[in-house]
Amino acid sequence: MSAKEKTMFNKLVCLFIFSVSLNLVQVCFAERKSTIIRMGNNTVLDGFTITGASDACISGEDVDFSIENCTVLDSDNAGIRAIDGDVSVQWCDIKQNRWYAVYHAGEGFTLRLENCQIRKNQRLGLFCQDSTLICTNSIVSEADLTETGNAGITLFNASSPPLIQNVTCAHNKSVGIWKIGGALPQLQNCIVYHNGGPSLVGFSADDAAWYSCIQDCNSVNENIDTDPEFAYYDPNNMRLSLASPCLDSGNPYLDYQNQLEMDKKDRVYGTAVDRGAYELTCEDVSNTFDWNADGVVNLHEFGRFAAVWRAHDPNDPAILDPQHPDHEYLTDPNSPGYVSEEAMALWHPGYAYNFAATGSSQYAIDVADLAAFVEQAPWLWMACWLTEGEPMQQMMVMGEGMLLGGFEVQTAEPSALEQLGDLVSIVGQLEAIWLDDPNIQQEIDATQWQGFMDALYDNLLEVYLSTQ
């Protein structure tokens, strides 16, 4: 074994020990509990992750309660269910529940949501029956993942006019906001766009919306039907780009004191409030190399590139044309240049990874693309919204606090472990690419490559330490 191979082997052994040590601290759930937490009257739940209920993660009936700074996920029914009580939910991430993110019912009662993420729920996002919703500075996305025709926000027979202000309701699989009977809602400074179905059902923006960006609306009440131009077309990141028509164009007559936008910065920056849940306060908001839209160019991007290494376009003329001089070289299984079915299956049109799209590299993800990637990618670039404050997005990416399932407590969220395992695999793939392909060793300077790999290992160590 060469010195370089020994170095790689030792690093991977260390990484394996890291992941094993993390697995040792996990506490296994005995079974899924019907309801994890039942709230008492005038109680507050603050700073937990609640998961794994066969019914509702959090439930309360005939009581008023508050939930703050929590992550609520993976229930077989509702993340939060409240009946006949006034409920406040602030700075919470409610996701991946099989029916509702939040179910609230009761005539004359109010559900207040502030600065919350409602995302990736199988059927419905927010569902209010007979009650009144007041939702501000929040995001509702990817509801109805089962694609059964549900809405991001459903207002069923609202007892008083709901208020939806500075809410981004986008990338839901069907309807954005659905009103079924009851009082007419009021939408202020909202973005309702890029949903799989109609933006609004059961009411019109003409009657209920002001200073909002709503797909297919009329130009009344200062509403606009213009693409909001998010910095990324990604449901996990709906910050605005510098070109967005939603910048500084919200209602100037409302009171925004004591309000924060989703990155925990002042609600108003510039000449007026922005439409939607975020306020743009800086310029370096996105990067074309940030493929997973998390605000950092790091191991995730390397992982995506490694996963499609040697992908080949099945429409390569040399493959399709038997008369092409390279046809036999690419199609003969005994040829050193043979393109396998697996390699063609990895290819997707418009790949961002095909940086050197000329010559022989036009139809392949190969050494020329890797060389261009290493040279061009702004390694460890970080978006300004990450460097300026403590955004809620960091809470979602880096993991949450204590995790309650039944009566168990875990020291780290399972997804963090899975992430670490993925990163170990990514680094291993990149090391193997370098060791196994002499063309790469000739094309890319060894010192430059080693610098990148050292940075990768440092970043991986930081991820591991963050889970301790």
Q: What pLDDT tens digit does each residue of the chain (468 aa) get? A: 455 444 544 444 444 433 433 333 222 333 567 888 999 999 999 999 999 999 999 999 999 999 999 999 999 999 999 999 999 999 999 999 999 999 999 999 999 999 999 999 999 999 999 999 999 999 999 999 999 999 999 999 999 999 999 999 999 999 999 999 999 999 999 999 999 999 999 999 999 999 999 999 999 999 999 999 999 999 999 999 999 999 999 999 999 999 999 999 999 999 999 999 999 999 999 999 999 999 998 877 877 888 888 899 999 999 999 999 999 999 999 998 899 999 999 998 777 889 888 887 899 988 788 878 878 888 889 999 988 755 444 433 333 333 444 333 333 334 555 555 666 666 666 667 666 667 666 667 777 677 667 766 666 666 566 655
d(CA 266, CA 258): 8
Residues whose CB falls within 8 Å of the CB of residue 321, separated by 6 or more in sequence, listed in order? 327
Token look-up 């939910």 returns 89
Output the pLDDT for position 399.
35
Burial class for 2, CB neighbours closer than 10 Å (0-12, 13-18, 19+): exposed
Q: Residue 227 pairs with which residues in a beta bridge?
A: none
Burial class for 370, CB neighbours closer than 10 Å (0-12, 13-18, 19+): buried
- How many CB atoms are closer than 10 A to CB 82? 29
Output the pLDDT for position 424.
64
Output the pLDDT for position 398.
35
Residues whose CB falls within 8 Å of the CB of residue 264, separated by 6 or more in sequence, listed in order? 115, 389, 390, 391, 392
Lookup: tokens for 92: 């919470």
Nearest C-alpha neighbor of 346 from the set 388, 395, 307:
307
d(CA 436, CA 431): 9
Mutual orientation of helices 414-436 and 299-307 as an angle, nearest 10°? Answer: 60
d(CA 228, CA 291): 20
Q: Please give the full DSSP string across 431-467, using - where no structure is assigned.
A: HHHHHH-HHHHHHS-HHHHHHHHHHHHHHHHHHHHHT
Output the pLDDT for position 418.
59
Output the pLDDT for position 411.
32
Q: Please give the full DSSP string across 350-390, using - where no structure is assigned.
A: T-TT----SGGGGGB--HHHHHHHHHHS-TT-B-HHHHSS-
Q: Residue 140 pairs with which residues in a beta bridge?
A: 118, 169
Angle at 100 between CA 417 and CA 193, to 5 degrees: 90
Nearest C-alpha neighbor of 456 from the set 425, 435, 417:
425
CB 351 within 8 A of CB 339: no
Nearest C-alpha neighbor of 430 from the set 300, 281, 274, 286:
300
Token look-up 């009657």 returns 207
Strand, helix or coil at 428?
A: helix
d(CA 238, CA 396): 14
